[in-house]
Amino acid sequence: MIYNHKMKEMADIISEHGLEALLGHIHAMAVLLESDGQLISWNPAFDECKKTSPSTSNLRGFFSKKDTRLFETHLELKTQNRWFAELAVEAERYLHYDCLLIPVPEDRFLFIAEPVKMDSATREIIERLNRQVKLFKIESEFAKKIARNKQVEMEGVMVQANEVAQVDALTFLLNRRMIVWKLQDEILRANRYNTPFSISLVDIDHFKKINDVYGHLAGDEVLRQVAYQLRDHIRHPDVVGRYGGEEFLILLPNSKSTAAIEQAGRLSKQIRGTPIDVNEQIINITISIGIAELQPGVDTWETLLKRADTAMYEAKRNGRDRWAVAE
């Protein structure tokens, strides 16, 4: 990153080291912000967003309604954070972005956003980012006096590549590897600070029948829609990821099982009350949920997951469309 006071200073530094063309060429949006999110300067990749609302002077105005508060929270924390969010690219049209917020001197922030794509496009992004990492390494040999700035830029690109690789391409939720990593991290934190922690394992009822009757494309759409419902109806800072197949894992930091039970009731009602229209065919969906609260000093991440899984199957045995709590 390059620390500066004005856009001209930023451009002068970039130009001096031959990187202006690179900043103007990359698809990642780079925006310099005041501490409250006010726009100071940006690269050409951000112009598409700016065109949607030329008069908007604060970055929060470009986030979707559900992501605005999360952005404000990251500003308040004043620490480096990464997350996924939706940004406006046209009127009423949003795309998913992998976002990185980095504090810089004078109480400002550098915001970097890379569009998240799927399948072959995802691989192309990762390959391109990796090529940029190699380019930064080569350039650093010839620009020792900006080595530290280049290193920070390279780390930012590597973070983006790593984050894109850890998103489930179908649902845009965290994939199995990432959600399990976060589960392990939350258990360590709960044990260290003696705070409660609970998880919910969610399974779509009769999903095999959905695939058999309506086809796998319809099954994929059901997975996407259920994922969106779960993501949009959990509280912050709870986290949801696709654990595998038709199963989703929700992490509830600083929460006892009573909070997970209340959430399970809301999610079950939301999914049950939101039929999915696939090619003019209405599919009614229900979910079964297994809840487990961490037993400090007893549970590992594997045993906690196993207890939640056992509770989830108990909910299925008792008729589905309900939840059960592990003992």
Half-sphere exposure of 298 (CA within 13 A, CB side): 9
Residue with tokens 């390279």: 154
Let me know how many helices (H) and strands (E) the chain has, helices first: 11, 12
State how far the Cα of 290 lies from the Cα of 301, in Å rounded to an integer. Answer: 15
Both ends of the chain: CA-CA distance in Å? 50
Active site residues: 246
Give the helix ranges, DSSP H, for 194-300: 207-214, 216-232, 257-272
What is the C-alpha to C-alpha distance for residues 152 and 5, in angstroms, rounded to an integer? 19
Helix (H, G, I), strand (E, B) or coil at 108: strand
Which residue matches tokens 């810089």?
Answer: 104
CB 307, CB 199: distance < 8 Å: no
**How do strand 276-278 and strand 281-283 relate by DSSP bridges?**
antiparallel
HSE, side-chain direction, 13 A CA sphere, residue 26: 25
